[in-house]
Structures are given as structure tokens and as C-alpha cells.
Structure 1
Amino acid sequence: MGKTISCSVLLALISCFYLLFATALDTITPSKSIKDPDVIISQKGLFRLGFFSLVNSSNRYVGILPLKDSSGILTISDDGNLVVSNGKAEILWSTNVNNTAPNATTAQLLDSGNLVLSNGEDGASSLWESFEDPSNAFIETMKISTDVKTGRKVELKSWKSIDDPSDGNFSLSLEPFNSPEGIIRKNNQLYYRTGPWNGNTFIGLIDKYAAYLEGFYVADNPQQPYYMTYEFSNDSMLIYSELDSQGKFIEWKWDEGKGNWINKYSSYQTNCDVYGYCGAFGICDSSKRTICSCLKGFKPRNIEEWSRGNWSSGCSRTTLLHCQRDNNGSGASQGDDGFLEMKMMKVPAFPHLSSISNGQCKDQCMNMKNCSCVAYAYDDGIGCMLWSGDLIDVQKFSASGVDLYIRLPSSELDKEKSSKVIVITTVTAGIVVITISALFLWCGMAKQRGTNKRHKQIKHKSYSENVRESLIGVKLQQLPLFNFEELATATNNFHPEKRLGQGGFGPVYKGTLDDGKEIAVKRLSKASGQGLEEFMNEVVVISKLQHRNLVRLLGCCVEAEEKILVYEFMPNKSLDAFLFDPIRQRLLDWRKRFNIIEGISRGLLYLHRDSRLKIIHRDLKASNVLLDQDLNPKISDFGMARIFGGDENQANTKRVVGTYGYMSPEYAMQGQFSEKSDVFSYGVLLLEIVSGRRNTSFYNNKDDLSLLGYAWKLWREGNIWGLVDKVILESKSYSNNEKEIWRCIHVGLLCVQEYTKDRPTISTVISMLNSEISDLNTPKQPAFTQAPLMSHDVEDRGSLNGVTLTNLDGR
């Protein structure tokens, strides 16, 4: 026991820790202060209050206040306020309360985690509580509240980043609309909503688990402040929630077995959870390929914007309601309007509530004056919900949700019925025609099939079945096997318009499966120098890997002579498509580039050290780094990768594979490869990211230098900033990132040293990039500083077009 479990939570002035069998004072008095690094601990040892530092910050904090050194003091001042001051006695923060008995004031850390400032004048009355001035954390017995009468709110505020606990862009509060809802705001604009509270849960949560937690409670008495809180009966259950810097409300639970906090629930799952993502009268469905569409009977207000994927303008009615066409608005012909039922929905924002029964809800909506009611829904805990005006933030759920009824003119409802009849009739007729045609076709081809059957079986068995046996031999039965017809349909028979690119393995196509899932289909080219060995190698290697910075293999296809790999689809293609394009590279500011650098290094660390296998990639380059929709990097193409045994550090090969400009000297010349070979390729890639130039673009330059030679020349001249991409140099934030950019260039040069002993490991690289190692070695002259003399034929095969080389003879 005696173990400290840090929950990394700030509660205004509280650094929150769970402890066992800890003993210390729990109270600050005018004569007893906390001076860094002193602490106080709650009576039962559940919480600790003191100064601390964040991982990537040299500042000291107590709450959210940065102190530049360890001279901070938390004390009670002469006027009875709790204050934070530095070594110069400068007050950095104060509770700012009026205290009539300052000499009797104490600040006590309770076992609830609440820090309470009080005095003894009237029985230890509370003057200030940390629970009423929280930061980003929500723990047991704390109340997120709104007082309608006074307008006072107790709300969570996100951190600016994981390394900066000052107030960020997001806040979380309980809003007493017509029914209480949990609300997240971004820069004071509505960003996410839970839907109304029905006494048991928020009905707009696609996953209601969090709301069913034991002890979760929302008080919605209109005469009192609204608040939500929770308290568990099981004291051993350690759970807290936080509003993170990206606006997600995340619930964490302590896992004793893993010795770490695990994510139990997150409020934000997809773009559909962003408030009003599809605009007025739009419906968001994350299961569909195009997640936004218009409600039945509505059309896009701005077709051009919708075609570009900007749905914020929403939709408008295709046909007016019948009562809208009645100038009197009396609703005399209301029978010509009806309601379309939509099941399992997140209901729109801002409903009007009525206490009438479910059966009367439809009639009340229909009878409201001037066509003002456009939709209704009913929930047993809330009652009848009615909407007028625009319907905003409608979402289709795969489970749970509420049935929503949309008001439409009878003509639109008739179209719905007619379309169903037409579909049924068409399908029936089609089945009959296809059946008859198939019968005749089968009869005509029966003889021919009999003639060819034996030859086809022999050929198929000799190739396809042997490959399948190989798959089974390496125990990959768990990997999904796609059939060729399914992938041909998904890619429109491998149509050229679906082609994403070309690699050494063969062409890659974009595909869409029947369920709408987008995939990348990598088809072995018959002209490729790679074959079954590389195919099997990639399947074996990547099927065993799972990491956020490695592309995910979804399955494979082996039929006749076809060898196909199916990957998750990366909408932004590869890094080189951004980095070396004069237009798209402007989307890569320094922060995005550094995120890509870090992501590649984390993926490489997983391959080298953290996975069950030790894997050398052997072909790391910009075209083999794919980017997801948020430009996060994923390493791909493991056809050349090699698995090492636990005690192996280096291997030799007579078959050198890779790409000009990225291969390390010991590998290109002697066939020796190791972790340091990948580090060399990583160094080249790092310098490319900083400079925005291909290593191979330096062929035939006037100084006869490669990118490595050019970087080394500028380094020796003290003009290293001449290497940096103009996009970065011209950005407003350039001056704030100079040290980080310089460090990346320094690390890149260390990675491309000629001898392996002079190159760092990837784990050391990560420490260098994060400034955990501050004193870097001085780089020596890199390998391959001169541009190679290449014939025209070889250059065409090089990395200028991202093609991978095989069977390369060393010089």
C-alpha cells in the first residue's frame, strides 16, 4: 500500500491525488502556510494540495497560476483571504472575499476534495469554496449549477492545452432551457448539447451509460438553482470527469490492475455531435458516407456549398405546408398536412414543453396557430415536446434516442408512400427478369463450363489454395478475407478515376463497401517487381500491429492471380502530396508539421521498441506516410519490413530494397540494416518536412549537393534558417517556434550521420524533440552530402515519383 495515485486534475486551487495511509495537516491558518514544496492532505488521505509542475513546462503551479520558480507560497493574508504569492511577496491570486474576522480564518482541504475558506464568527461559515470556482475537473459531490435568479454559474473551464492549465476555449455548464441540458460552449458559442434531462438521463446522449451511473443526479426545481452532481456509494470506485482542451467531456476510471486511468466515456464521438453541424432542417448520420442530408421534404438552401461539404446553411422546405398556403393561417384545412415518423433520433434544440399526454401531442402540434408547430416528440419523463421555427441539431442514432415527428404537406407524405410502392414493384419485376435470364444463360453455358472446369480448378488450386494455405500457416485466420467481386464493386471495377496513387507494390484505389465504409484497396501489379513474398510479409507484419500512427490493415484478398490488401482509407492521401505541392503545402503550418514529425517518431518507436515484435520498416519516406482527415500521420507500406528476434539488433541481406535518398549508407552499400537504418530515413524525412523540399529535388543543382549536403553547408555557415520552408518563415507564429525548428534541424542532422554509432535511437530522438534532453551532440558531416551521379534510366526509377526500388546492387 502507501501508493500515490495522481489523478492529474486541477480544481481551481487543488492538485488532486488519491493516497493511502498518508498523514499531514489538512488546514492552512494565518500562522501555517504552504511553501513550495510543502503540502496539506485531507483528513482521510484522499486529496493533497500543493505545488507541482506539468510534464512539458518549467513553471510551478498551485491551481492554474504559473510561478517561474519554487518560491511560491499559499497562505492566508492579513485581510483573511487565501492568496498565492511569489518569493517577492507579490500577490498572484486571491479569493477576494470580504472577511469580517480575518484572524479566525482557516482554509481546510476536505475529504471530498473541496478546499473551504471559512471563519469562526458564526459557526465556521464558508467564505469561499474551490468547488464553486472549478477548473477543468468534475468530481464527486461537486455541483455544476446555474442560478436563474442571480445568473451565477458554476461551470468547468477547459485548459488551453495539456501543458497550459490557463483557461481554454471551452466551458461546460448546466443550462435551464425549458428542460435542463448539459452544454459545452466554444468561445461562448454553443458547441455540444446533451439533450433534455428526463429524470433519469439526458435523452440526447447516443451512449447513455454515463448518465446511468450510480448517484448521478440533476436537480431541476425552478425555485432553486439547477445543478448536476454525483456521489457513489462504493468508496473504492475512483472516477472523475474532465473537460479537455479539445472540448471533450471525458470520464476516467482508475484501473488498479493497469495502474493507470482509463477512458470510460467521451461526450464527443463524431462531427455529428457538433451543435448544428448540418444546419437548420438538416439531419446528421455518422454511419453514412455523407453524414449530412436534408430532412424528408426539404432541400439544401445552398447547393454549391453542400456539394463542397459545407452544410451549415441548412435546408428549406421543398413544398410549403398547406396551412402556410392559407392566407388566413386559421388551419381550416389542416387535414392536408401530416407527420413523418423518424425513429431513434436526437431531438432538436430548444423544445417547448407541454404536460399533456402522448396521445394528445400530435393534435396540439397540428392545432397551434399560424403553422407554428413544425415537429413534436414525446418522452415519458419530459412529456410532450413541440418545436416551432428551425429544427437544429437533429441526429440519427443507431440505438436509444426518441421518435421524432416532422410536419409535412400531404403531397410529400404521398411521395413517401408512392416511392415505397415503386421500389417494391421494381424489385419484384427485376427479380423475375433476372431469374428467367439466368436460367437461359445457365443452360447455354453449362457445356462450356464443364469443358473449362477441370483446367480452371487445376490452375486455381496450384496458386490460390497454396496462398490461402500460407495464410493459415502463419495463423492469420482472424484477418478478414475479402472476395474479389466485393472489392471490384467497391472500386467500380478498379476504375482509373478511383485510383489514389502508384507504389512499388502496385496501384492503390479508393473503394466504398456496401455499408458505406471507405477503404483503400492496394492491388498487386503483374508488372511489379514484388510478389508473393512481399505480399505475405506485409500481411504478416501489419496484421500484428495496432497503433494510432500506423495505418490499419482491414483484410486481404487472394483469388486466382489476384493479391490485394485492404486498408483504412486516409482522405488526405500521403504526406508528399501536401509537403511538395506549392499550393497544399501552405496548409502545413509549423504546428501541423511538428505534429506530423512527432506522430512519425511515435509510430517508429512502436515498431522498434513497444510492439510485441521488433520491426525495421526499411522504406520510410514521405509517400509512405499517410494523413487522416485531421492531418495526423500514419506510417504505411510494410512490404519491405523485417521482423527481428528479441536478441537481434542487426541483419544482412543480399537483396537491398528501398528508395534513393532515404537509404542509409551501410544498407545501400553493404546490405546491413538495423533500427539505425530507419533512423537515417527518418532524419531525411524530418529535414524534408522542415524545408518543404524533396531530397531528390537537389539532383543536378549547381553546387552538386543533396538535401543533406545543402543542410550541412548552411549549418557550417551559420545560416540554417535558409533551409526552412518559406511557408513557415512567412507565418505570424514563426518567431515563437524558432527554438523548436532549430532543434528539429539539429536532430535531423544527427539522424543522418554516416556511422550508425553517431545516430540516436528513435526513443532518444523523441526525448530530444520534447526538450527532455537539452544538450545535443554536435553533428558531423552527414552521409551522402553530394548528389549521386545517376543515369537517366535509374533516375526514372528513383524516388522522384515515389516508386520503391528492389534488387538494387550496392556501389
Structure 2
Amino acid sequence: MGKTLCVIFTLLLLICFCESDDRLTPAKPLLPGDKLVSNNGIFALGFFSPDPENSTTANSYIGIWYHDIPERTYVWVANRDNPTGSGLSGKLVLTNTSDLVLSNSKGRVLWRTTNNITTGGDGAVALLLEAGNFVLQSRNFTQIWQSYDHPTDTILPSFKLWANYKTHTAVRLVAWKGPQDPSTGEFFLSRDPGTGLQILTLRGTSKYWRSGLWNGAEASDKNGFMWSQIVDDGETIYSTYNTGNSSARRWHWKLDYNGDLMLRISSGQSWMPLFKRPDDGCRRYGSCGPFGYCDMFDKICRCLDGFQPAHGFGASPSRGCVRKENLTCRGDHFLTLPEMKVPDKFVYVRNRSFDECTAECERDCSCTAYAYTNLSSIVATGGPSRCLIWTGELVDSEKAGMLGGNLYIRLAGSPVNTTKSGVSVVFKIALPVITFLLTLTCIYLVCICKQKGIQVNKETLKKPALKHLSTSQEVWDQNLEFQSIRFEDIAAATNSFHDTNVLGKGGFGKVYKGMLEDGKEVAVKRLSKGFDQGIEHFRNEVVLIAKLQHKNLVRLLGCCIHEDEKLLIYEYLPNKSLDQFLFDVARKSILDWPKRFNIIKGVARGLLYLHQDSRTTIIHRDLKPSNILLDVEMNPKISDFGMARIFGGNEQQESTRRVVGT
């Protein structure tokens, strides 16, 4: 008998310990002091007072918070604008009609859910899920209601931030009124209900911050990996983010009471922000005025190219900018501004090619700018590319680095005639005179040097034009498979080698981003005139890369020799070089392990081709992260063959007497 009682008692204990405390039933109301805890122990739901020092007399609320973090952090509040009342207690009940009802000790209903279930509440249950979502289910597991449909100020994993661009409606987050006041504050956040492509923070009815086109985001940390996805079903666009493991669920987006949107991760005891906007500086909406932009690196306002401060050069650009020269429509041109967060108030045109987008803006004299933005990370019903067009002023632009894209802005005059009108007049007068004098000078020099020139040319033909490589093979005079590009075309493509087009620089010189007349984006390496090994470096690249064909080697499109200018034109790779990810605190989180492993394999394949599979065995001799470029899909391509060496067919080793590379 005693053994039987012991067994029964043990079973009762097991039943007691196994019974979940993550649910609410009609027979089990939630009272002050009670709480529901998710199965993974991360989230808890119960009554709370935002002022713990006066919890006995202060207002109380029903909310969800992180259960395993000492710093009490609330992610959802049910009755934020209707507390229990000072000194009163509350009770949360699941009724027989499958409604959740919160009332205070005087019987006053403070908050409730409603549903269309008419079969009674037998078997209905309210559950606190592991992701922090509080759901109400019927007895056949049909979801009746969930807290994710009624957010407060926090986005948790798998929450959908949606906007219906046909009905112009969107789900909203609303910030707390203060650090200890969960009532409705003055800031709220939602997707742009007109297009769904960007996220907006508003202060009342005024825009406070704008994300630009939100293509999805990725971040990683020692606690796990987080990714986001954006889906367009033809009517609604929504974004959601998830994490790679349960511990990484201690991430969230929070709209703070002061208007800052933050991506935060738990350090175990408190929270660390990985992303914060608008933060300090000039990132608040429109702070740089019309035709101004915020330089995110210096955190100051500047004027777009072709514009100047509206009130003179002594004024602050934050008051806006005006054109240096008025538009004439048919005589205008478009200047490429790289790495820009697109301005606000664009017209979103679907299903347009780049050429169609360009033509649409060029033929409309009221079109002030256009962009062709790749939205490849959006799972959409249509094509991933989108045409954006602006008319009138450009507002809320930003120099956004690798997160931005190309903005094509309409300016007056031809690409080479962008000077002030007064200077242009001087050139119109002086140019014919200068041309005439130069013509006479050229004729004189030709007559004097004709005989000497013939003799020099004969002697020159006996020598190689450039210093020969250290190789047993003569390769410079072979028929190389690339085109020669005119210097004038390269200068036009790079806006006359403008500083805003610089992609990077090194001991050899600078690399510029350019766009050829056919719309093709290229990278132009301009060797420094004082570079000691310039000729050999240039010749090495032309000879080697032109003969190589592999998906993990950068492709040489052409070259140019113009007087003392030596230029190499490569395919443009939008994600630039690997070192800009590895050694940048903000960007290295993008390189999760699958991306890193893909880069490792790609570099290995490229080296195997150089060492074994190419027509000539080539040793790179300067392989480093800055010489590994990444395309739009983060596939690697080895670049910079200026220090490479060619081995003979039977050579297995080589010695060098000088140090090269890094």
C-alpha cells in the first residue's frame, strides 16, 4: 500500500512539473503575481508596473517581456492607454466565448479581444509562443487572435511589417510616450503605404526618418545569424526577419520613445544597439533641404554636384541648394552620382529596362532625376528591377556608401561644359584664337621634325615599346582579345575623373567608377604618373588578364594609352573588395559562414586555374583581401596582376631577390 501511494505521489509530481505554464485557459485566469513563461524560457507575460519603486500604488498593465534578462525589457503591452488605475489590481480571463478580457478589481473592462467564433470556448487556449507571440487558439487549433497583429513598439522574429500599396494601408509600431510611460507616444513607424518599398518614422503627421529602399538586411554576431526577407505578393509587401538559433532570438527592432529605430542584441545583462537611425547628425528627414544630401561619413550636409547653397557660399547647406545653371531641357545631360540613398517622393515604375527608364526621364523635361534600383532580395511577382523617377525638388538624399546606388541627375549643358556662364563666354572667344595658333605651331613642328621623326620611328621599331616581362616567351606582340578605348570616352564616363567616382586607391594610383555610353558600368584603373614600376605594372596586367578567362578572375574590358596616361578598364563589381567587409566593424557582420565559404572556394578555383589550368602558369604574388573583388552576389574575383610572374611550361620553382607585394 505504501509503495502504491509513493508511485501515485511521484506520478502526481511528474504531472505537476510537466504541466506547461505557457498557457491560459477558461479555468485558469491570470492574476497579479502570476505569469506565463514560453517553453524556451525567453519570454514572460503578466502584470507589470513601469515604475517598480511605486509598484503597489502605480498603474499596472498586461505585457510581455524578456524573462531571462535582468534589465526588464517589454516588447508588447495590451492596455497601454487604459491601465488598471492607481492602487487597483487586475485580472486576465479567457471567456467561454473565446475572448481575452482584462478588467480591474472594480469590474471595469480595460481591454479585450473579439472574434467571430460561435461554437463556444470549450477547448480554447491562449499560448505564449517561444518567439514572444501571444496567440489565442480554438479547440481545433485555428488561430483566433495574436499579439503580432497588434504590435506596440517592438518587432520580434517572424513579425510581418506589411503595407498594402493598393489600399494604402500598413501595420504600425507606436513608441512609448516616455521611458516609464507605455501609453501612445508621438512617434510611429510603418512601411510606406504608397509603395511598400521603404520604412518611415513619423512624428505626428510629419516624416522624421526614412530608410530609403529597404531591400532586406543581414547581421551576424557570436550569438547567431539574423536575416530578413521582403515579399511582394502583387498587392502587399511585407518584411520579416528570423534568426539561426534560439539564443539569437534575443534580437529585436525597437522604436524608442525619442524617435530612434534601433536593432538591438542582448549582451546577457543589457542591450547593445547594432543599428540606430536617425541618430545624431543630418539623417533626420529633409534636414539638408532641397537638392542637398547628408554625408553619412562626415555627418554634415552638402550640395549635390551642379548645385550650390541656396543663400550663398557663406550659408549653411542645411537650408537647401539651388542649381548653378538653369535647365534648358534639350541641351541638358545626366550626371551619375554613385552610392546614394535615393531621394523621397519618387514615382515607382514597374517592368522597365534600364534603357526604357533612361529614355522615359530624358524625354520628359520635368524629370529631374532617375534611378534604376535592383531589388533582387525581394521575392516578388514581377521582375526584381525597378525604375524610379523624380520631378521637381530632390529631398532627403544621403551618401550611403555600399548601401546606396546610382542616382542620375539632370544638369544643364553638355558633360564637358558645366562651368559658369561667364567662364564659358571667355572660352568661346579664346578658343578660336588658341586653335589657330596651335595649328600654325603644329605645321611648323611637323616641317622641322619630319626627317628626324622618320629616323626615330625606324629605331623605335627595333625595340619593344614597353619594358619586357621576366619570361622566356614574347607575349606583348600577340593578338590580345580586348579593345582599345578612347581617352575622351573614359574621361566622360568618369566625370573627368571626379573625386566622387573614386572607388579606391593604392601605390599604383586610383580606381574610378564609370559608365560608358551604352550604360555599362566599369572600373577604371588609372596608373599614377610617378609610379616607379608603372610601365611594367601596366604591361603585366594587359598581357596576363587579356589571356585569362575564368569566372573567378576579374575581366579586363580594354585599355588606353594617351600621352603619359595609362588606363585599364575592368568590369565593375558593386560590392568592391573583400577587405572592406573583413576589416569594417559595421560590414563584417554581412559575411556569414556560407558567404565566407563561397568566397574561399571561389578564390581557390581561381588560383587553381592560374597555377594549373591556364595556357601559361601564373603566380599572382600579391594575393590579399583588397585584391579580391566581390560581385553583386558576393562571388569573388581575383584582381591586380601587376606583380604576377609567368612560369615556363616545365618550371616548378622560381627564386626572387626582391620583396614584392604585401
Relative to the length of structure 2, the TM-score reads: 0.51
Q: 2:417 aligns with which of 406, 414, 421?
A: 414
Is 1:377 the equivalent of 2:377?
no
Pairwise CA RMSD:
3.4
CA change 1:118–1:229 in 2 (3 A) is same
Equivalences for residues 83-122 of structure 1 within 5 A: 83-104=101-122, 105-120=124-139
Q: Is the 8 A contact 1:81 1:99 kept in 2?
A: no
Q: 1:321 aligns with which of 320, 323, 327?
A: 327
1:281 corresponds to which letter in structure 2? F
Matches of 1:359 and 1:55, distance apart in 2: 60
CA change 1:23–1:299 in 2 (3 A) is farther
Is 1:244 the equivalent of 2:256?
yes
Equivalences for residues 138-287 of structure 1 within 5 A: 138-149=155-166, 152-178=169-195, 180-198=197-215, 200-201=216-217, 209=219, 214-223=226-235, 225-237=236-248, 238-256=250-268, 259-287=269-297
1:28-59 per-residue CA deviation (whole Å, 9 max, x = no partner) reads 22221000011122234332111122246633
Q: Is the 8 A contact 2:196 2:237 kept in 1?
A: no
Q: How many Å apart are 1:270 and its aligned residue?
A: 3.1
Q: How many Å apart are 1:26 and its aligned residue?
A: 2.1
Query: What's the counterpart of residue 94 of structure 2?
Result: 76
1:604-657 per-residue CA deviation (whole Å, 9 max, x = no partner) reads xxxxxxxxxxxxxxxxxxxxxxxxxxxxxxxxxxxxxxxxxxxxxxxxxxxxxx
What is the number of residues matched between the two proteins?
372
Query: What's the counterpart of residue 427 of structure 2?
Result: none
Matches of 1:183 and 1:60, distance apart in 2: 31
1:750-775 per-residue CA deviation (whole Å, 9 max, x = no partner) reads xxxxxxxxxxxxxxxxxxxxxxxxxx
CA change 1:169–1:319 in 2 (3 A) is same
Can you give the 5+ residue segments of structure 2 that lack an aligned partner in the other structure?
A: 1-16, 63-76, 376-384, 425-662
Q: Is the 8 A contact 1:271 1:277 kept in 2?
A: no
Q: Is the 8 A contact 1:143 1:227 kept in 2?
A: yes
Q: 2:396 aligns with which of 393, 396, 415?
A: 393
DSSP 3-state at the match of 2:212: coil
Matches of 2:19 and 2:178, distance apart in 1: 33
DSSP 3-state at the match of 1:252: strand
Q: 1:353 aligns with which of 317, 339, 349?
A: 349
Equivalences for residues 373-772 of structure 1 within 5 A: 373-381=367-375, 382-410=385-413, 414-416=417-419
Query: What's the counterpart of residue 39 of structure 1?
Result: 35
DSSP 3-state at the match of 1:279: coil
Structure with the higher strand share, 1 or 2: 2
Q: Is the 8 A contact 2:200 2:211 kept in 1?
A: yes
Q: 1:340 aligns with which of 331, 335, 344?
A: 335
Q: Is the 8 A contact 2:103 2:109 kept in 1?
A: yes
Matches of 2:130 and 2:298, distance apart in 1: 48
1:320 corresponds to which letter in structure 2? N
Q: Is the 8 A contact 2:165 2:194 kept in 1?
A: no
Q: How many Å apart are 1:354 and its aligned residue?
A: 4.9
Matches of 2:220 and 2:194, distance apart in 1: 21
2:231 corresponds to which letter in structure 1? A
Q: Is the 8 A contact 1:239 1:252 kept in 2?
A: yes
DSSP 3-state at the match of 2:274: strand
Q: Is the 8 A contact 1:160 1:166 kept in 2?
A: yes
Structure with the higher helix share, 1 or 2: 1
Matches of 1:146 and 1:363, distance apart in 2: 30
Q: How many Å apart are 1:360 and its aligned residue?
A: 5.2
Matches of 1:347 and 1:410, distance apart in 2: 24
DSSP 3-state at the match of 1:379: strand
Query: What's the counterpart of residue 60 of structure 2?
Result: 60
Relative to the length of structure 1, the TM-score reads: 0.42
Question: Percentage identity across aligned positions?
Answer: 33
1:40 corresponds to which letter in structure 2? L
Matches of 2:180 and 2:19, distance apart in 1: 30
Q: How many Å apart are 1:129 and its aligned residue?
A: 0.9
Matches of 2:46 and 2:94, distance apart in 1: 15
Q: Is the 8 A contact 2:175 2:184 kept in 1?
A: yes
Matches of 1:44 and 1:179, distance apart in 2: 34
CA change 1:416–1:342 in 2 (3 A) is farther
2:407 corresponds to which letter in structure 1? L
Q: How many Å apart are 1:126 and its aligned residue?
A: 2.3
CA change 1:149–1:321 in 2 (3 A) is closer
Q: Is the 8 A contact 1:272 1:395 kept in 2?
A: no
The 10-residue stretch of structure 1 (379-388 or 295-304) with the greater mean CA deviation from structure 2: 295-304
Choose between structure 1 and 2 for higher RCO, CA contacts under 8 A separated by at least 6 residues.
2
Q: How many Å apart are 1:161 and its aligned residue?
A: 1.0
Q: How many Å apart are 1:234 and its aligned residue?
A: 1.8
Q: How many Å apart are 1:23 and its aligned residue?
A: 6.7
CA change 1:23–1:39 in 2 (3 A) is farther
Q: Is the 8 A contact 2:337 2:406 kept in 1?
A: yes
Matches of 1:245 and 1:61, distance apart in 2: 18
1:52 corresponds to which letter in structure 2? F
Q: Is the 8 A contact 1:179 1:196 kept in 2?
A: no
CA change 1:126–1:188 in 2 (3 A) is farther
Q: How many Å apart are 1:378 and its aligned residue?
A: 2.6
Matches of 1:419 and 1:292, distance apart in 2: 28
1:232-287 per-residue CA deviation (whole Å, 9 max, x = no partner) reads 1222212122111011111121224xx33222221223342211112222222255
DSSP 3-state at the match of 2:417: helix
